[in-house]
Structure 1
Amino acid sequence: MTTPTQRLAELGLELPTVAAPAGSYIPAKASGSLVFTAGQVPFVDGKLPQTGKVGAEVTAEEAKDLARICALNALAAVDALVGLDNVKGVVKVVGFVASAPGFGGQPGVVNGASDLLAAVFGDSGAHARSAVGVAELPIGAPVEVELIVEVA
C-alpha cells in the first residue's frame, strides 16, 4: 500500500517547512484522534506569491492553485506534529476566499485543496468541506485553508 509520503513524491511534491505562526497560536494541535491545523495561507519560501481579492486581482484559476499550496502547508503542519503517514483520513476542510464583490466561485477555488488531498490520500482524502467568501484575509492573502484529519 502506498503511503501519503510516497504519493507526494509520486506527484513530484515536497512538504514545505512549517510557517512560523504570525500570532499567538500553534500550527497544529491534536485532540484525541483528530489533528486541527491553524489556517494556512499560500506561503512559498516565506512569501505570498500573490495578494489581492479573487475575482479582481487574482483569477479563480490562480486562486485554485494557491489553495493547493495552502493544503500543502497544512499537511506540513500535520506532518511536523504527528507524521503524515499516521493520517487515517481527512475529516474536514475549511477554505476562506478573499472575494471581490460579486465573486461566487469559492467552491471551485477550494477544489484546489480538495483535489490535492484526494491525490495524496486516495479515498481517505474524501472530506466534508466549507468554502467561504470573506472580505479580507491576513496580509492580503487571497486564500486560507485549514484541515481536520484523523490519525491512527
Structure 2
Amino acid sequence: MRKWTRRLAEIGVELPEVARPVASYAPAVRSGNHVYTAGQLPIVGGELVTTGKLGAEVDQDAGRRLARTCTLNALAAVHGLVGLDSLAGVVKVVGFVASAEGFNAQPAVLNGASELLGEIFGDAGTHARSAVGVAELPLGAPVEVELIAEIDTTA
C-alpha cells in the first residue's frame, strides 16, 4: 500500500479538516473502486478565502494558489471517506474558474491543482483534466475543483 500521508509530511503539506458542504450533498462518495468528490471551494478554517473573478479582482497567481487550496480540500474529503493511503492515484480533475470577460487562462489556474497532485502522488497523480471558465461560482468563489481518485484494490 502506498503511504501518501507520509508523502504529505515530507513535502510539508497538511490536509485540512473536511470542508462542510454549503448545500445538500456529501463531500465525497465511493462507487466501486473510485471516489468522487463534490466541487471544493477555497475554504480555510470554515471560511471562503476570497471572492471575485479571475482577470478582475483575482490575479492568475492567486488563482493557482486557490486551486491548490481547493485540491487540498478535495483530498481531505477523500481521506475522510476512505483514507488517503488507500488510493492508487488520481484519475480526473475538473476545475471551474469564475472568469471576467476576456480571461482565458483557466488551464494555467488549474495547474495549481495538477502540480500539487504531482508533488504528492508522483506518476500516480497524472490525470485527465478539464478547466472550465464560468460566469459565477457558489458564494462568489473564484475557483472550484473536484476530482476522481482510484482506490488501490491490491492491498
TM-score, normalization: structure 2? 0.96
List, as ranges, runs of 4+ consecutive aligned residues in structure 1 with deviation greater than 3 Å. Answer: none
Residue 132 of structure 2 is aligned to residue 132 of structure 1: yes
Cα deviation, 1:95-139, whole Å, max 9, x if unaligned, reads: 000000000000000000000000110100000000000000000
What is the identity, as a one-letter code, of the residue corresponding to 2:68?
R
Deviation (angstroms), 1:76: 0.2
Q: Distance in 1 between matches of 2:69 and 2:95?
A: 12
Q: State the partner residue of 2:7.
A: 7
How many residues are paired up? Answer: 152
What is the identity, as a one-letter code, of the residue corresponding to 1:130?
S
Deviation (angstroms), 1:34: 0.4
Q: State the partner residue of 1:99.
A: 99
Q: State the partner residue of 2:58.
A: 58
**Structure 1 segment 1-152 matched on structure 2, within 5 A:** 3-152=3-152
Check the 8 A contact 2:2/2:87 in 1, yes or no: no
What is the identity, as a one-letter code, of the residue corresponding to 1:131?
A
- Sequence identity of aligned pairs in percent? 66
What is the identity, as a one-letter code, of the residue corresponding to 1:137?
L
Deviation (angstroms), 1:2: 6.5
Q: Distance in 1 between matches of 2:90 and 2:146?
A: 11
Check the 8 A contact 2:2/2:85 in 1, yes or no: no
Cα deviation, 1:62-81, whole Å, max 9, x if unaligned, reads: 00000000000000000000
Q: Give structure 1 stretches of 5+ with no counterpart.
A: none
What is the identity, as a one-letter code, of the residue corresponding to 1:89?
G
Q: Distance in 2 between matches of 1:150 and 1:76?
A: 15
Q: Give structure 2 stretches of 5+ with no counterpart.
A: none
What is the identity, as a one-letter code, of the residue corresponding to 2:129?
R
